[in-house]
Amino acid sequence: MQTSDFKTLSHVMEAAGLVTLELEPIYLFILVGTIQLALRHPEHRGQSADLAREAAIAFQQRLGEIDPAIAAALEQGWHPEFDVTSEEFDQMEAENAWDDSMSDRPSDGDAIDD
Give the number of residues written for the chain: 114
Please, how many CA atoms are within 13 Å of residue 114, restricted to the half-sphere of its CB? Answer: 2
Q: Tell me whether residue 112 is in a domain.
A: no
Q: What is the pLDDT of residues 26-63, one digit of tens each?
A: 999 999 999 999 999 999 999 999 999 999 999 999 99
Residue 82 has pLDDT above 70, yes or no: yes
Share of the chain above pLDDT 70, in %: 82
Give 114's DSSP letter: -
Q: Tell me whether residue 27 is in a domain.
A: yes
Q: Give the domain extent around 86.
A: 23-97
Q: Tell me whether residue 2 is in a domain.
A: no
pTM for this model (two decimals): 0.74
Give me the number of domains the chain comprises. Answer: 1
Q: Tell me whether residue 104 is in a domain.
A: no
Residue 15 has pLDDT above 60, yes or no: yes
pLDDT at 27: 96
